Amino acid sequence: MLTSVTVLVASTLGLFTAPPVDLEQGYTLRIYEIGRELTRVARVAEDATPNHDRLEDRIDFKDIESLVPAGLRRDQIAIEAIGFLEITEPGNYIFELRCDDGGVLNIDGTRVIVHDGVHPPSPKEGQIELAKGLHPFRVDLFQNAGGAALILNWRKPGSGRFELVPAEAFRTEKGVTRVVAPGTKVYKDGREHQRPGDGLPIETAYPRFTVEPLRPEGFAPKAGGMAFLPDGRLVVSNFEPVNNGVLRTETNGTMYLLSGVVNGSPETVKVEKLPGGYHDPCGVVCVDGDIYISHRPGIDRLRDLDKDGVFETHEEWARPWVGDNYHHFSFGLKEKDRWIYGSLSTSIYFGNTIEVDGVEGELIGLNGPNPPHRGTLYRINVDTKEIEFLSGGFRTPNGIEVTSTGDIFVTDNQGAWMPASKLNHAKAGRFYGHYNGRQKSRVYPEGGHASLFSENPPSPPAVWLPQNEIANSPTTPLAIREGPFAGQLWLAELTLGGINRVSLEEVAGELQGCAYRAGNGLEGGVQRLIEGPDGCLYACSIGSGGNWNWRDTRFGLQRLRPTNAKIFEIAEVSALPDGMVVRFTDTVDPAWLRDAKNYALRQWRYEATAQYGGPKIDEEEVAVTAALPDASGRAVMLRAPGIKPGHVVYLRTNPVSTTGENIWSTEAWYTMNAKPTGDAPAKPFEAKPVASLPKSATKQVGANEWTR
């Protein structure tokens, strides 16, 4: 038995270099320090010596402290658990891998569970038929940042419930000399030889902006929202995010009013605390000089009735929804034609929340019951408080843009029914894919309420945002008013940090388009991005424990001043009936553009399931059969008839401009919902911002000093 098992192990998993003479109870746990951003499960390079190696008896690690001993780094590491499972009862075994971040379970050389990507602790199941005897197993886990977890449960043949795989089921080679070595190791995820902007996130600020500090000393806002008043003062909401599933009764949010911001510096900015307490205030908008704040129970309003610059009146302006779960956020806000637009997230259920609420039945992807209207886009009239719930099927829609033409764009985050994050072109009456849990609970004895418009088929997003490649937690979309990309959208990103860019076009009557990297290098992951009266962009940041932060940053407020810098990058990708057009911001040697080998295309599709997130499906390379540059040297038509509708098309190209400049980022991600035809070509789409604050609004009303 041992000889045959060892041959299998050596050939498929590489666990041992020689047959073990004897086995003992337990398995081997190894930790490797990688020291760079990790986004998917891979293997450490062959013959790499671990930084830590120990004998363990159970795979039951609920936090980073139990998994990684003191003295080792606890982020950007790879972990492997290897050994044998001893099966005494043959039959079909269902395994459950709970992990944070991505994990893969292999048994007998077969992938039983793939739960990849950066994500919070969550389960995924897989099954395999196992005969009596020893079976080699391997669990690979990567830990990027924040908290960690690794738990392996099984449901034995004939059992009705999961239980932790017991210690007596594990076997490993006895008497192993556990050699370790310091230093970082090579992680073979395909990014070991790549540079920022070429397979890796861009580390530095986008050169088209000068990043300017704004925070006075001691002011560290964890910002949920912000908006400018007509007089040029900046309103900022601040709160302490908590990701433990507990529904708070006390408020955790504060509103601040900042003067001296426009053309100012940390030395000129004055901070004043505004009235009221708030629950996770994630949206702010100013209308007629009044301040509207969206938070868990509804929308509050602050008013300066005597127009002396002091907001003395705080009122509960509207309470049109219920928030009874810690994850019931109210995002936004945007105003157009005296309608305020916002969005509502859905519940998340951890073990403690399930117990407290008495939720019955199985919960998949952390998805459980909700009150009415959760997961919707709404608008509410400023004058009458009339509310309209426009569309449904959102999960965590943490960003809204409303253009001058009335087009509404809503971001959403990966999770249950969301295989990847995305940007939606939201239309009234449509359903965007997230089915709220219908389980019964103490709060909902008849079951949770269905997602609004879920009787309709899901509408595809305008742009998929492949997870941990171009986005992880997208927040604010913002129409670009001026410059070379006017009519496109900036797209703020929290967990991967920084700002991306999106171009859109109309194909078959619907919008689709392409995502591009822009830059990072800010104080934190970007929660809100707005345009100021001076034409600058203003970015605020937030973060919390676990994975919901960018490199453990938690706060920030900065101004992004447009520059005249000219950088070489992909300006736009457009769809053709038999391929695509790639446009650049500078000229490229026509001979280089004409070589089809200089372009790599891949495509895949997504399939929504109840599970948390999802893999790429049917991923394949797409041949570029011809490359035809235009006369300007700034564009090339790629013939690629193998591109399929309903797929994300990934482009990588690495040209150098005729002035000798390397391209800023080699990658772009085009969502090909539909292919244009000769009779119905792709039509350009321009996202036009609503009117900005008057550029003369630079008078700063005085404010009290912020008292620390």
Residue 19 maps to a domain: yes
Tell me what pLDDT residue 3 has.
Answer: 31
- Smallest CA-to-CA distance from 254 within 285, 233, 289, 225 is with 225
pLDDT of 476 higher than 70? yes
- Residue ending a domain, among 533, 551, 572, is 572
Residue 704 maps to a domain: no
- Tell me the pLDDT tens digit for each residue of 330-358: 999 999 999 999 999 999 998 888 999 99
Give 210's pLDDT tier (boundaries 50, 70, 90): very high
Instruction: Say yes or no: 529 and 670 in one domain.
Output: no
Instruction: Say yes or no: 548 and 578 in one domain.
Output: no
| DSSP assignment letter at 357 | H
CATH number at residue 663: 2.60.40.1220
- Tokens representing 48? 């790499």
Round to whole Å and give the CA distance between 140 and 79: 6
CATH number at residue 354: 2.120.10.30
Instruction: Say yes or no: 137 and 236 in one domain.
Output: no
| DSSP assignment letter at 691 | P
- Tokens representing 451? 């997602």
SS3 per residue for 405-426: CCCEEEEECCEECECCEEEEEE
Instruction: Say yes or no: 291 and 414 in one domain.
Output: yes
Round to whole Å and give the CA distance between 392 and 606: 20
Give the domain extent around 239. Answer: 203-572
- Tell me the pLDDT tens digit for each residue of 550-594: 888 999 999 999 998 999 999 999 999 999 999 999 999 999 999
Round to whole Å and give the CA distance between 327 and 281: 12
- Tell me the pLDDT tens digit for each residue of 2-53: 333 333 333 334 433 333 558 999 999 999 999 888 989 999 987 688 999 9
Instruction: Say yes or no: 669 and 562 in one domain.
Output: no
Task: List the Cα angle 446/125/95 in 5-degree steps.
Answer: 120
SS3 per residue for 452-504: CCCCCCECCCCEEECECCCECCEEEEEECCCCCCCCCEEEEECCCCCEEEEEE
- Tell me the pLDDT tens digit for each residue of 163-192: 999 999 999 988 777 878 788 898 998 878
What total number of domains does the chain contain?
3
- Residue ending a domain, among 507, 541, 572, is 572
pLDDT of 201 higher than 60? yes
* Per-chain mean pLDDT for the chain: 92
Q: What is the mean pLDDT of residues 655-684?
A: 97
SS3 592: helix
Residue 593 backbone class (left: φ over 0; alpha: ψ -120 to 50; beta: rest): alpha
Strand partners, 80: 30, 140
Q: What is the mean pLDDT of residues 683-697?
A: 81
Residue 58 maps to a domain: yes
Tell me what pLDDT residue 697 has.
Answer: 47
Residues 6+ apart with CB under 8 A from 631: none
- Smallest CA-to-CA distance from 147 within 98, 75, 247 is with 75
Please, how many CA atoms are within 13 Å of residue 369, restricted to the half-sphere of its CB? 22
- Tell me the pLDDT tens digit for each residue of 57-105: 999 999 999 999 998 999 999 999 999 999 999 999 999 999 999 999 9
- Smallest CA-to-CA distance from 668 within 520, 502, 511, 521 is with 502
Task: Out of 41-55, 244-258, 493-507, pick the least confident.
Answer: 41-55
Residue 94 maps to a domain: yes
Instruction: Say yes or no: 404 and 515 in one domain.
Output: yes
Tell me what pLDDT residue 303 has.
Answer: 98
Tell me what pLDDT residue 14 has.
Answer: 40
Tell me what pLDDT residue 9 has.
Answer: 37
Residue 698 maps to a domain: no
Prior bond of 290 cis (ω within 30°): no
Tell me what pLDDT residue 695 has.
Answer: 60
Residue 30 maps to a domain: yes
pLDDT of 530 higher than 50? yes
Tell me what pLDDT residue 220 has.
Answer: 97
pLDDT of 497 higher than 50? yes
Instruction: Say yes or no: 154 and 260 in one domain.
Output: no
Instruction: Say yes or no: 292 and 378 in one domain.
Output: yes
pLDDT of 701 higher than 70? no
Other C-beta atoms closer than 10 Å to the C-beta of 542 total 29
Tell me what pLDDT residue 467 has.
Answer: 87
- Residue ending a domain, among 135, 152, 173, is 173
pLDDT of 706 higher than 60? no
Instruction: Say yes or no: 503 and 568 in one domain.
Output: yes
CATH number at residue 93: 2.60.120.1560
User: Does the pTM of the predicted model rise above 0.85?
Assistant: no
**Residue with token string 């290897």:** 82
Instruction: Say yes or no: 236 and 316 in one domain.
Output: yes
Instruction: Say yes or no: 603 and 559 in one domain.
Output: no
Tell me what pLDDT residue 46 has.
Answer: 77
Instruction: Say yes or no: 254 and 356 in one domain.
Output: yes
